[in-house]
Amino acid sequence: MTAAISRAEFVDLLRDEIGLAVAAEDLGRTFDEVPGWDSLHLLTMLVLLEKRVSRPLSLPDFLDAASLETIYELVNR
């Protein structure tokens, strides 16, 4: 099965659309460890990713996510 969004595309979205200074190596960090993280980024990310993958994503799952890696996995399941 092909990923809905590649890891590189996900990182680009985080950097270019949300303004987070992250690299692929940072995806496993908890949100508290992500420089510049704000809880509003989670909602922005949800909306942008829903547009990118053309399907609804679960807000409760996003709220339960512990890291950007978890979000990436949710989008691609």
Domains contained in the chain, CATH given = 7-75 (1.10.1200.10)
State residue 3's pLDDT score.
74
State residue 6's pLDDT score.
95
Listed as own residue / partner, the contacts of 1-6 with beta carbons closer than 8 Å and 24 or more positions apart are: 3/76, 4/52, 4/53, 4/55, 4/75, 4/76, 5/49, 5/52, 5/53, 5/72, 5/75, 5/76
Q: What is the mean pLDDT of each run of 10 residues along the chain (77 residues)?
A: 86 96 95 93 96 95 96 96
State residue 15's pLDDT score.
97
State residue 1's pLDDT score.
56
